[in-house]
């Protein structure tokens, strides 16, 4: 019998599917059941430890196997606390992909980290982690006076205070706030209604381009498919406050292909909250997002994300950690933005007649893209685009892992992990990088000084007139 089964509750549940059918409580005293298949599937092959970028450069880190299955067993004893090394996990989630048994190690780590934070109580470290985990809260304030905020956050004294008091490294440049957020641009542009009108016009022009005869031959089913070209955009905090050019590119590209874009109210995906052990914050954000996007899915929308960590949260972490009504529906209807276009549009044909003079890109596939099977996506999409050459810089982790590389105690480890990526980038003739992840982009720029672009920006340059 699995360690996760309460013998007193197993009378009529002796079938082999029990562990898969019923949720497993990772920590016995937790109020909610945690949907875990248990630890018995782990047979200690150590594939997760070999794949861990932190363990590769930091000998003090015991690795994912200990942080997941082994710690799960230990903490079932009332007198055993979660080991402090759980804070060294970067939440890159590579261990999940490496595990041949499908043990959801990263969610065990997230749950253990939340328990550790609860056990430690209030401290300056807790305050620091809470601030980093809830970046959107401060971003809302900072974006109201972006120029002043950028000036203050760039001052040496500010960096020194952040490092000495909160433990936020002074080695990094704080990301600049845009003078106009994406949502401000979206509202000024006309919002959902304006996007619907632009998409309908794009569909009309496409029909004209196909010719009147082809237009007459189109079946009612085909016309119905066009009418259902609707997506709800989960932009996240960073694309809204810091890189609205990425969000704008998504909107323009999708409207070019005839999609009506909706941009509903939303909260952070929760990824930085999971990584910092702020599970209550993550639960609130996830509940809001599920309720919001579930309603749109019921109206025929799919959800697209421009950040692979956001799509990872909605697709994988939400259904593994929470059981709100609609969680599974949101997970099933969420896609990376480029992935969705590859599924539903003929991108090779759309790019065949395009030519841009953007040159070579040093491309890094984020860990959270790899975990969704999207590692080679950008290379494949742009392989035949004249004027663009995408060179993969290897399968190493960038090392920043969201907020992980912003903590003073993790900075050196973060840079050691990223060293291989930096070397491969510098071997590429160009000095321009490409990635889907905003924090990977920070690390790439920090380690090489390269300008970093998002694949959506390249798509926009290629297909949008």
pLDDT in tens, 80-114: 888 999 999 999 999 998 999 888 888 889 888 99
In which residue ranges of the chain is pLDDT below 50? Answer: 1-36, 213
For residue 222, the model assigns a pLDDT of 55
For residue 42, the model assigns a pLDDT of 84
Assigned token pair, 385: 């685009």
For residue 216, the model assigns a pLDDT of 52
Domains detected in the chain? 24-120 (1.10.1060.10), 124-166 (no CATH), 182-344 (no CATH), 351-463 (3.40.50)
């Amino acid at each position: 019998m699995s360690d996760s089964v309460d013998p007193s509750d197993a009378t009529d549940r002796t079938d082999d599917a029990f562990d898969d059918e019923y949720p497993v409580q990772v920590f016995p005293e937790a109020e909610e059941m945690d949907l875990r298949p248990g630890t018995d599937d782990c047979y200690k092959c150590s594939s997760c430890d070999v794949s861990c970028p932190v363990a590769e450069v930091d000998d003090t880190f015991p690795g994912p196997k200990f942080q997941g299955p082994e710690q799960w067993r230990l903490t079932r004893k009332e007198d055993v606390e979660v080991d402090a090394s759980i804070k060294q996990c970067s939440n890159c989630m590579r261990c999940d992909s490496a595990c041949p048994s499908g043990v959801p190690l990263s969610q065990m780590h997230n749950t253990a980290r939340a328990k550790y934070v609860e056990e430690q109580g209030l401290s300056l470290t807790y305050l620091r982690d809470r601030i980093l985990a809830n970046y959107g809260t401060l971003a809302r304030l900072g974006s109201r006076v972006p120029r002043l905020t950028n000036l203050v956050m760039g001052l040496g004294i500010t960096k020194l205070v952040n490092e000495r008091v909160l433990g936020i490294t002074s080695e990094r440049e704080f990301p600049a706030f845009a003078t106009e957020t994406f949502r401000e641009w979206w509202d000024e542009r006309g919002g959902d209604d304006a996007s619907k009108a632009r998409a309908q016009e794009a569909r009309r022009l496409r029909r004209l381009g196909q010719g009147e005869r082809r237009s007459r031959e189109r079946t009612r089913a085909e016309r119905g498919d066009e009418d259902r070209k609707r997506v709800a955009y989960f932009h996240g905090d960073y694309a809204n406050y810091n890189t609205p050019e990425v969000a704008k590119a998504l909107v323009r590209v999708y409207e070019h292909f005839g999609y009506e874009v909706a941009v509903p109210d939303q909260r952070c995906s929760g990824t930085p909250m999971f990584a910092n052990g702020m599970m209550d914050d993550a639960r609130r954000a996830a509940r809001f997002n599920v309720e919001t996007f579930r309603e749109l899915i019921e109206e025929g929308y799919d959800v697209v994300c421009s950040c692979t960590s956001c799509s990872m949260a909605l697709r994988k972490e939400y259904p593994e950690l929470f059981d709100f009504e609609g969680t599974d529906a949101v997970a099933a209807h969420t896609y990376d933005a480029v992935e969705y276009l590859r599924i539903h549009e003929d991108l090779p044909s759309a790019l065949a007649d395009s030519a841009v003079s953007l040159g070579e890109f040093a491309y890094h596939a984020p860990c959270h893209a790899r975990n969704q099977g999207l590692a080679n996506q950008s290379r494949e999409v742009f392989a035949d685009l004249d004027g663009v050459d995408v060179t993969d810089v290897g399968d190493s982790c960038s090392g920043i892992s969201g907020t992980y590389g912003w903590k003073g105690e993790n900075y050196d480890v973060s840079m050691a992990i990223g060293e291989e990526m930096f070397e491969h980038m510098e071997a590429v003739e160009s000095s321009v990088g490409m990635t889907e992840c905003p924090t990977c982009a920070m690390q790439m720029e920090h380690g090489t000084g390269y300008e970093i672009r998002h694949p959506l920006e390249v798509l926009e340059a290629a297909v949008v007139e």
